Amino acid sequence: MLTRMTQTYGLVQSWVLVSHMLVLKRLGDPQATLEVLVFTAVALGLVFVGSCNEEIAQSIIFFLMERSEAELAEPIIRLLPVALGLLYLGKQESVEATAEVSKTFDEKIRKYCDVTLMSLAYAGTGNVLKVQKLLGICSQHLEKGETHQGPAVLGIALIAMSEELGAEMAVRSLERLLQYGEQNIRRAVPLALGILCISNPKVSRLSHDADADVSMAAIISLGLIGAGTNNARIAGMLRNLSSYYYKEAAHLFCGKNCSRACSPWEGFADTFSIPFRPVSSFPMALGGIVTVLHACLDMKSTILGKYHYILYIIVLAMQPRMLLTVDEDLKPLPVPVRVGQAVDVVGQAGRPKTITGFQTHTTPVLLAAGERAELATDKYIPLTSTLEGFVILKKNPEYHEE
């Protein structure tokens, strides 16, 4: 099995290198349209997410420097800072050199790029100083046409998402921004709440807002919050919203897509389990979510226009919600597991219990938001420390049946 995995890894690595050369060559094609170049950069950012690849970063920087004012005014151009930031996802200080270079960009894109790079580089770190800086940006009263406050709101959620206490404080800060912030900030708040509560059913109250952009963002947020949960209350709300906005094509489009995200299949649903793991273990999933949400900051020009296929990028964050155990030959292996509410054991001495209120089931088994599983037998040893998704088990050589 180890030989087979090594061969597969070698083939995948070779394919990635060839694809990198072909796509990077496409990024420098002077005859390519703006849309092709932008989505080429996004593809490179998603493939090399968190790699700090200098060659790709320089290509995107040169591309931004060479754009005219008319091209920089296009809404789709804002995905370029996202592609650049994905290369430094969770890398913190590694982004500083690129951030300094971004200060030489045109004024129309400079602030947007600075905020996006900061929020992605410190995603999941819980850095309080960066959150304070982003809140300071959101507190400013700017002239019309400024677009960098929306990414600042998303950045607050991205930085605070991996820690439970920090996420709660971020929600309280977002509530204040919702009350006292400018209109462009209010439009980003539902999306930020969706990041903090992905697949953790909590109901949004902004889906009937008077502002069309705020209400559409709230509908998208409902889809993220209820993704893969089959939550009856959220599914009912989305059905009611479809009836309420039956004359509004844009709202109806958002509602239908979110209904499919909430319950894609009866009995077997996919879920976005982003908030429950560190950034280092799910960079591709987070990259897909961030790309889609940045496009949702100006939905009328992107997903409600001719770039509706951006929504497909969210597939990168989909994964099975069930726990399925297999043996070393990748054949299904039913074993007893204990499933219960997860307990925070960070900093506790000894071997404290990691779950509470558990029940014993036989795999495959579904895991809800906030639940954790652990093996109920010593016969097998898991090859991963976290039991979720597909887990490979090997026999315990020290196990002896009584």
In this predicted model, which residue has the larger pLDDT, 400 or 173?
A: 173
How much is the pLDDT for 77? 86
Which of the residue ranges 210-224, 247-261, 346-360 would you say has the lowest mean pLDDT? 247-261
How much is the pLDDT for 14? 41
On whether both 40 and 177 belong to a single domain, the answer is no
Calculate the alpha carbon distances from 287 to 86, 293, 320, 344 in Å. Answer: 6, 10, 18, 26
How much is the pLDDT for 3? 44
On whether both 246 and 333 belong to a single domain, the answer is no
How far, in Å, CA of 165 to CA of 344, rounded?
11
How much is the pLDDT for 149? 83
Last residue of a domain, one of 54, 88, 121: 121
On whether both 278 and 330 belong to a single domain, the answer is no
Answer yes or no: are the C-beta atoms of 55 and 24 closer than 8 Å: yes
Residue 138 domain-assigned (yes or no)? no
On whether both 192 and 296 belong to a single domain, the answer is yes
How far, in Å, CA of 23 to CA of 341, rounded?
45
Global pTM value: 0.80
Last residue of a domain, one of 121, 145, 177: 121
Residue 201 domain-assigned (yes or no)? yes
On whether both 316 and 397 belong to a single domain, the answer is no
> Residues 281-299: what's their mean pLDDT?
84
Residue 137 domain-assigned (yes or no)? no
Tell me the per-residue pLDDT of 174-185, one tens digit each, with 9 for 90 and over: 888 888 777 788
Residue 10, pLDDT > 60, answer: no
On whether both 296 and 328 belong to a single domain, the answer is no
How much is the pLDDT for 296? 86
On whether both 264 and 236 belong to a single domain, the answer is yes
Confidence of residue 203 (pLDDT cuts 50, 70, 90): low
- Please provide the DSSP assignment of 93-139 as one string: GGGHHHHHHHTTS-HHHHHHHHHHHHHHHTTTS--HHHHHHHHHHHT
Last residue of a domain, one of 121, 150, 175: 121
Angle at CA 232, nearest 5°, toward 230 and 311? 50
Determine phi and psi for 355, rounding to 5 degrees.
-135, 160
Residue 145 domain-assigned (yes or no)? no
On whether both 174 and 311 belong to a single domain, the answer is yes
How much is the pLDDT for 274? 41
How much is the pLDDT for 206? 64
Instruction: Locate the DSSP E strands across 267-402.
Output: 270-271, 319-320, 322-326, 336-342, 355-362, 365-366, 371-375, 380-382, 390-395
In this predicted model, which residue has the larger pLDDT, 90 or 257?
A: 90
Calculate the alpha carbon distances from 69 to 108, 134, 252 in Å. Answer: 8, 27, 34
Residue 272, pLDDT > 50, answer: no
Residue 377, pLDDT > 80, answer: yes
Contacts with 171 (C-beta within 8 Å, 6 or more apart), sequence order: 193, 196
Q: Given strand 322-326, what is the order of strands in its sheet? A: 365-366, 322-326, 390-395, 380-382
How much is the pLDDT for 271? 42
> Residues 253-258: what's their mean pLDDT?
66
Confidence of residue 189 (pLDDT cuts 50, 70, 90): confident
Gyration radius from the chain CA atoms: 22
Confidence of residue 147 (pLDDT cuts 50, 70, 90): confident
Q: What is the total count of domains within the chain?
A: 3
Percent of the chain with pLDDT over 90: 0
Q: How many helices (H) and strands (E) does the chain have?
A: 15, 9
> Residues 230-248: what's their mean pLDDT?
74
On whether both 292 and 329 belong to a single domain, the answer is no
On whether both 195 and 315 belong to a single domain, the answer is yes
On whether both 67 and 35 belong to a single domain, the answer is yes
How far, in Å, CA of 289 to CA of 297, rounded?
13
Residue 196 domain-assigned (yes or no)? yes
| Domain around 396 | 323-337+373-402
How much is the pLDDT for 11? 36
On whether both 89 and 180 belong to a single domain, the answer is no
Percent of the chain with pLDDT over 70: 80
Residue 365 domain-assigned (yes or no)? no
Confidence of residue 96 (pLDDT cuts 50, 70, 90): confident
Residue 58 domain-assigned (yes or no)? yes
How much is the pLDDT for 49? 87
> Residues 363-392: what's their mean pLDDT?
82
Tell me the per-residue pLDDT of 47-91, one tens digit each, with 9 for 90 and over: 888 888 888 888 888 888 887 778 888 888 888 899 999 999 888
Mean pLDDT of the chain: 77
Residue 141 domain-assigned (yes or no)? no
Residue 229, pLDDT > 80, answer: no
Which of the residue ranges 161-175, 225-239, 243-257, 383-397 would you say has the lowest mean pLDDT? 243-257
Structure tokens at 290: 């961030």
